[in-house]
Amino acid sequence: MACSENMFFLIGLFMSGVLACFGQRDLIASMPDRLDVLTGSCVQIPCSFDIPDKHKDTFNSAILLSGVWIKEFPYLGERPDSVIFNSTEMVNRYQGKITGNMSQKNCTTVFFNVTTNYTDIYFFRIESQPFLAIDFGKHVYIVVSDLPSSPILTVSGEVKEGTPVSLNCSAVAPCPEHPPELTWTLPTQFTTENQLQENPDQTKSVLSTVTFTPSYLHHEKNITCTAVYPVGTSNKRAEHNMTLNVSFSPKDTSASISPDDPVFVGSCVNLTCSSTANPPVTNFTWFKISEGKTTQVASGQSYTLNVTVGDGGLYYCQARNSHGCGMSNEVQLAIKGHEEPVNPKVFEIVGKTLGLIFLFSLIVFFAWRRRTSRLPSGFDMTDRSQGLVGMNSPVGTVCSNQATVGRGNQ
Ligand SMILES: *[C@@H]1O[C@H](CO)[C@@H](O)[C@H](O)[C@H]1NC(C)=O
Ligand SMILES: *[C@@H]1O[C@H](CO)[C@@H](O)[C@H](O)[C@H]1NC(C)=O
Ligand SMILES: *[C@@H]1O[C@H](CO)[C@@H](O)[C@H](O)[C@H]1NC(C)=O
Ligand SMILES: *[C@@H]1O[C@H](CO)[C@@H](O)[C@H](O)[C@H]1NC(C)=O
Ligand SMILES: *[C@@H]1O[C@H](CO)[C@@H](O)[C@H](O)[C@H]1NC(C)=O
Ligand SMILES: *[C@@H]1O[C@H](CO)[C@@H](O)[C@H](O)[C@H]1NC(C)=O
Ligand SMILES: *[C@@H]1O[C@H](CO)[C@@H](O)[C@H](O)[C@H]1NC(C)=O
Ligand SMILES: *[C@@H]1O[C@H](CO)[C@@H](O)[C@H](O)[C@H]1NC(C)=O
Ligand SMILES: *[C@@H]1O[C@H](CO)[C@@H](O)[C@H](O)[C@H]1NC(C)=O
Ligand SMILES: *[C@@H]1O[C@H](CO)[C@@H](O)[C@H](O)[C@H]1NC(C)=O
Ligand SMILES: *[C@@H]1O[C@H](CO)[C@@H](O)[C@H](O)[C@H]1NC(C)=O
């Protein structure tokens, strides 16, 4: 291929410019600017033409009309071999057919068995003696490649869980006799609808619309639309991949407590909420259930508290984003220091009382027997009780705030 794409366009631009200046278009042809074609397949060039008013009397559509396609260089006087197709000739350099009805000014043409050396710009000419005209101002750029171009995937609006969504996949059909077949790969069940449609420039495309109902489980899963082009006895395929972005309300919301064991009053407890959501959770809120009442106690992903006697109870969190909210399981905050100091004191009092009664009895008994005796070992229990009380004094880490609130925004 001697000429670059740019050069074709420069030639075209130059000619359009010259014609625009002098207004000398003898024929007005309409065709697409560009066609992308597959090697070995066919190409249909949608084409129509019109005769400018100044030539309306010389042109007679009743007379035998030839349609001629010219490759690259339209000045036939200088290069007559640039004619690659002439509808009145039996044999042409390009195998083809004008499928449009020329009497109705439809010059739609199909070329078969396209090879890569067909890549070029093409001009159209009509011959209807004595009227002969080329439209120098319009050409079609045909690009032949071995691989089909990828289909185009489009989604309208946001993909939300539970709301049916439609996706379009569109693949060009330069050879409408052998259109591509479109298939979908989705992570869920779906329905499709295919149709051959005409684009504004009269070229054809196959459009496939798929409808399905996304769930949060489909977030970040792939969707593929595959176009299979039949070429001769084999197929050529091209595909388009897309990763689903499903927006959903918070899921798998769970609350955890650290430490997970009963704690003493004055120690530090960390409640943490976790959740997955798209877009991410904006608000975490903590609730406490105590004596059948639910109260909001904090906001933020983690809630740290320096335990007081009243803090015992069940806690849960709520995660919220723009699509809704999710509620967690309940976690128990059990307090050790709240109950245990009471019992040792009771033991202490009971122990001391019993000890005193026992001592008194002994004194009375021994005094009555007029014998002296050693004191019994009733103080062991008292010592143990005091030891237990001693263990209740605040221990553990330093908790700077009553509630350290971490912002849930990400
Ligand atoms: C097209 O074919 C006709 C019939 O053979 C011939 O008269 C005419 O000159 C040809 N046109 C061109 C541009 O070759
Ligand atoms: C021109 O002819 C082609 C092929 O026969 C046809 O598909 C197309 O609809 C026609 N165009 C018009 C404008 O009639
Ligand atoms: C082409 O169009 C003309 C005029 O409209 C009509 O008479 C003729 O039958 C058409 N030819 C074909 C092949 O359809
Ligand atoms: C295209 O070429 C193949 C051989 O390569 C031939 O069998 C077939 O008939 C041709 N198709 C057309 C429409 O001419
Ligand atoms: C185009 O290439 C094919 C092989 O790919 C060759 O047979 C044919 O002669 C070439 N045609 C032209 C006009 O160069
Ligand atoms: C899909 O294509 C149809 C028909 O062209 C159009 O009405 C619809 O808006 C398109 N939908 C998307 C998601 O692009
Ligand atoms: C999804 O598509 C991307 C890009 O095409 C690819 O790299 C990735 O492996 C695919 N993932 C899955 C699960 O198919
Ligand atoms: C509470 O737990 C969260 C998550 O494990 C951690 O990010 C945070 O630093 C902890 N806060 C305290 C005060 O330990
Ligand atoms: C996915 O959608 C969410 C919510 O609509 C948005 O915030 C996020 O930026 C999107 N992510 C990607 C990778 O497009
Ligand atoms: C969520 O957080 C934002 C900013 O952090 C705050 O303005 C808003 O009031 C909160 N909403 C609820 C329901 O707590
Ligand atoms: C808990 O609060 C009490 C009283 O405000 C304080 O004396 C104690 O040091 C705090 N405990 C921790 C672990 O910060």
CATH 2.60.40.10 location in the chain? 2-145, 152-243, 248-344
pLDDT in tens, 93-110: 999 999 999 989 999 999
CA distance 164 to 14: 51
Q: Which residues line ligand 10 (CB under 6 A)?
A: 282-283, 285
C-beta neighbour count of 331 within 10 angstroms: 19
Ligand nearest to the CA of 2: 5
Residue among 177, 242, 247 nearest 210 (CA): 242
**CATH number for the 152-243 domain, one of 3.40.50.720, 3.90.440.10, 2.30.30.180, 2.60.40.10?**
2.60.40.10
> Phi then psi for 11, rounded to 5 degrees?
-60, -50
C-beta neighbour count of 384 within 10 angstroms: 14
Q: Which amino acid is at 15?
A: M
- pLDDT at residue 76, rounded to an integer: 86
Ligand nearest to the CA of 199: 6
- pLDDT at residue 296, rounded to an integer: 94
Bridging pattern class, strands 140-145 and 34-38: parallel
183 lines ligand 8 (CB under 6 A): no
Would you call 372 helix, strand, or coil by DSSP? coil
**CA distances (Å), 338 to each of 297, 347, 398, 407, in order?**
20, 16, 20, 31
Given a contact cutoff of 8 angstroms between Cβ atoms, the answer to whether 145 and 84 are in contact is no
Rg (CA), the chain: 44
Distance 130 CA to ligand 1 centre (A): 13
Burial class (CB in 10 A: 0-12, 13-18, 19+), 4: exposed
**pTM, rounded to two decimals:** 0.73
Q: Which amino acid is at 404?
A: T
- pLDDT at residue 379, rounded to an integer: 33
Distance 102 CA to ligand 3 centre (A): 8
- pLDDT at residue 388, rounded to an integer: 29
Distance 41 CA to ligand 3 centre (A): 28
Contacts of 343 (CB under 8 A, 6+ apart): none
Q: Which residues line ligand 7 (CB under 6 A)?
A: 222, 241
CA distance 49 to 30: 6
pLDDT in tens, 185-242: 999 889 999 999 999 999 999 999 999 999 999 999 999 999 999 998 899 999 999 9
| Tens of each residue's pLDDT in the chain, 410 residues | 334 445 544 444 445 444 444 457 889 999 999 999 999 999 999 999 999 888 888 887 777 789 999 999 998 888 888 999 999 999 999 999 999 999 899 999 999 999 999 999 999 999 988 889 999 999 999 999 999 999 999 998 889 999 999 999 999 999 999 999 999 999 988 999 999 999 999 999 999 999 999 999 999 999 999 999 999 889 999 999 999 999 999 999 999 999 999 999 989 999 999 999 999 999 999 999 988 899 999 999 999 999 998 899 999 999 999 999 999 999 999 988 555 444 445 455 555 656 565 555 655 545 556 544 443 333 333 232 222 222 222 222 222 222 222 333 32
Could you please state the CATH topology (level 3) that the domain comprising 2-145 is classified under: Immunoglobulin-like (2.60.40)
Provide the 8-state DSSP code for 180.
P
272 lines ligand 8 (CB under 6 A): yes
Given a contact cutoff of 8 angstroms between Cβ atoms, the answer to whether 113 and 37 are in contact is no
Q: Which amino acid is at 326?
A: G
Contacts of 385 (CB under 8 A, 6+ apart): 344, 345, 347, 348, 351
Q: Does domain 248-344 have CATH number 1.20.1640.10?
A: no
Residue 176 corresponds to which tokens in the numbers above?
């409408």
Distance 111 CA to ligand 5 centre (A): 14
89 lines ligand 1 (CB under 6 A): yes
Ligand nearest to the CA of 398: 11
